[in-house]
């Protein structure tokens, strides 16, 4: 039986698999991922992958690829040197014609650093831009998304609704999906797997979902 929520069937949704190796990327595509987000160090919640891995994955996959742009673990407030590194990584991605980049910047008050978000977004230019789960550290996700919209080039927001996983944050996720329908894509994330996506889709009803195991275990062994 196929679950339907707001006329969006599971067959229609986009499943974005979060991967950190070439082998995982290949396996994710084979298992039915519609898109991948390529990172390194997922044990640190994801950092910018090495350029040679980006090139290798891009050359091997037929599905779209987004690249994490995060120069270090820890908070999301970056100094000038780190911002320049992020800019160079974004320009590298542009040269390779990846589908999109994923980054997020906060200030010391844990609100979006609008000045530097605009700076990096202008650098990304024609790439799709996803503001990542740094949004979950803000006091008001809805207010911060409203601010993001003023930049004009952010295409999606990755969030667990401010909770420890998508199920716990489902109420806010549904609110955001309704408020921003056809304005900006809200991508639920947070412990979404092949085993629970059916149930979560009935509750949340999004068009896209993100997860480490969204198409199953990606251990090539």
Query: Residues 39-65: what's their mean pLDDT?
Result: 97
pLDDT at 23: 97
Residues 1, 219, 47, 104, Cα dihedral to 10°:
0
CATH number corresponding to 12-211 = 3.20.20.380
pLDDT at 7: 54
In three state form, how does the secondary structure of 160-210 look? CCCCCCCCCCHHHHHHHHHHCCCCCEEEECCCCECCCHHHHHHHHCCCEEE
Specify the pairing of strand 8-9 against strand 156-159: unpaired
pLDDT at 198: 95
Model pLDDT for residues 2-20, shown as the tens digit of each residue: 444 445 777 789 999 999 9
pTM (2 d.p.) = 0.94
């Amino acid at each position: 039986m196929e679950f339907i929520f707001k006329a969006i069937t599971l067959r229609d949704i986009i499943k974005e698999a979060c991967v950190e190796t070439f082998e995982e990327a290949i396996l994710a595509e084979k298992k039915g991922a519609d898109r991948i987000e390529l990172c390194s160090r997922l044990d640190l919640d994801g950092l910018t992958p090495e350029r040679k891995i980006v090139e290798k994955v891009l050359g091997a996959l037929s599905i779209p690829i987004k690249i994490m742009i995060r120069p270090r673990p820890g908070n999301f407030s970056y100094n000038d040197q780190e911002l320049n590194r992020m800019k160079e990584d974004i320009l590298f991605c542009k040269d390779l014609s990846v589908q999109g980049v994923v980054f997020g910047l906060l200030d010391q008050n844990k609100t979006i650093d609008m000045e530097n978000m605009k700076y990096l977004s202008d650098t990304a230019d024609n790439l799709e831009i996803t503001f990542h789960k740094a949004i979950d550290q803000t006091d008001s996700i809805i207010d911060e998304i409203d601010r993001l919209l003023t930049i004009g080039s952010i295409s999606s927001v990755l969030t667990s609704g401010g909770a420890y996983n998508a199920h716990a944050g489902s109420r806010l996720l549904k609110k955001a999906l309704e408020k921003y329908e056809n304005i900006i894509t809200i991508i639920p994330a947070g412990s979404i797997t092949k085993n629970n996506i059916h149930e979560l889709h009935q509750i949340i009803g999004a068009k896209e979902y993100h997860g480490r195991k969204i198409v199953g275990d990606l251990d090539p062994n």
